[in-house]
Each structure stands twice: as structure tokens, then as C-alpha cells.
């Protein structure tokens, strides 16, 4: 009725005349030891695939070998909006997250897990914070990525953000023993 359609059972809605948005689902809650960047990316890939989505998802984190700002493919950084899994726009494009202002989000727009739960409302995620390991421009923060996301010791630190603060890239340094959310981002679209 409103010119929109939904793709499969994923609940991602789009306007048929515009490119599909990149989606931004929440994932598991994990301490800083997520077995490294490759394992985090694999979890995003596998969960997307299990839900019938294109397996084009990677973890929304920086590490010792990757800056978060470069996770999304270059051709998609300015052209597609960043949405939740239901198509609600969170950012006009990927670059808008990394203006240096902390990636301000509207906390009234939910971020959904791959199985459709609102991470800000669901008790499965008691700490409404995410790991990101980045500064406000999406560049890795040396020694603030839980030793390449392989350590969950209380004395090791990681860069995080409380989603309730309204900032996706807030600059809280927290113990890697905390169980925070790992977000996933769709890095590109396949035809």
C-alpha cells in the first residue's frame, strides 16, 4: 500500500525504486574474547545465512589489523542508508557514522538481532553496550580491542559504547570481562 515490499522472511523492507539499504543487526553478547576478528566475522556471516539473508555481514569492530571505518566495501560507503533489519534508517550512509561526533543514533529506533529481538529492550542483553575498539572516526584504538578480541580478563581493556547514550561510537574504555553486544554490518549488496 505504501510502495514498499519486504524481501523474504527477513523483514527488510525497501522502496522498489531505491537501492536496498544496508542493515545493522545486533548479535550475541560476548566478553572481549570472541576468538578474534575472523571468528566474529564468521558468526555474523553464519547468523545472516541461517536467517535467509545474504551472507554479506561482518562484525562492527576494529582490531589490530582493521579499522572499523573500512569494513564496508568502498562502493557502498556513501550510496546506501544504514538501517535496522526492519528497514528503519539509522544513518543516511556508512560515512555518516564516522563524522567524529560518536555516531549519534535515535534510541527510539530499535536495533534488532538476527532473530528479530530488540537489543535495547530484550533482557538477553542486560548491558546495553557494544564492543567496537574504535575512536569516534572508526579508527582502531591501540590496546583497546581486548588484545585482538582474544582476551576476556578483567585487567585488559576494550573500547565500547552504551547504546542508551545515543552514541554508536561512544568512547567508554571497559574491562574485557564485560559481556557486551557485537553488532554486525552488511558490507555490500549482491545482485
CATH class of residue range 19-186: alpha beta
- Give the per-residue pLDDT at 31: 67
Give the model's confidence band at 188: pLDDT under 50 very low, under 70 low, under 90 confident, else very high: confident
User: Residue 20: CB partners within 8 Å, gap ≥ 6?
Assistant: 7, 12, 14, 80, 189
| pTM: predicted TM-score of the whole model, two decimal places | 0.83
pLDDT in tens, 62-119: 999 999 999 999 988 998 899 998 999 999 999 999 999 999 999 999 999 988 899 9
- Give the per-residue pLDDT at 55: 86
Q: Is 140 exposed, middle or buried (0-12, 13-18, 19+ CB in 10 A)?
A: buried
Cα 59 to Cα 66: distance, rounded to the nearest angstrom: 11
- Give the per-residue pLDDT at 11: 28
Cα 141 to Cα 144: distance, rounded to the nearest angstrom: 5
- What are the residue boundaries of the structural domains of the chain, listed by start? 19-186
pLDDT in tens, 27-58: 555 567 688 899 999 999 988 898 898 889 99
pLDDT in tens, 132-143: 999 999 999 999
pLDDT over 50 at 2, yes or no:
no
Amino acid at each position: 500500500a505504501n510502495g514498499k515490499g519486504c524481501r523474504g522472511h527477513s523483514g527488510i523492507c525497501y522502496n522498489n525504486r531505491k537501492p536496498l539499504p544496508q542493515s545493522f543487526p545486533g548479535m550475541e553478547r560476548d566478553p572481549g574474547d570472541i576468538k578474534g576478528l575472523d571468528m566474529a566475522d564468521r558468526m555474523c556471516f553464519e547468523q545472516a545465512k541461517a536467517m535467509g539473508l545474504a551472507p554479506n555481514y561482518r562484525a562492527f569492530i576494529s582490531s589490530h589489523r582493521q579499522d572499523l571505518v573500512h569494513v564496508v566495501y568502498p562502493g557502498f560507503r556513501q550510496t546506501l542508508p544504514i538501517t535496522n533489519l526492519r528497514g528503519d534508517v539509522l544513518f543516511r550512509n556508512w560515512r555518516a557514522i564516522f563524522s567524529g561526533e560518536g555516531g549519534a543514533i535515535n534510541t527510539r529506533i530499535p536495533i534488532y538481532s538476527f532473530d528479530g529481538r530488540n537489543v535495547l529492550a530484550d533482557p538477553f542483553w542486560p548491558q546495553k553496550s557494544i564492543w567496537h575498539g574504535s575512536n569516534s572516526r572508526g579508527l582502531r584504538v591501540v590496546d583497546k580491542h581486548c588484545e585482538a578480541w582474544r582476551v576476556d580478563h578483567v585487567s585488559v581493556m576494550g573500547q565500547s559504547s552504551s547504546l542508551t547514550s545515543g552514541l554508536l561510537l561512544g568512547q567508554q574504555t571497559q574491562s574485557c570481562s564485560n559481556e557486551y553486544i557485537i553488532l554486525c554490518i552488511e558490507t555490500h549488496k549482491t545482485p
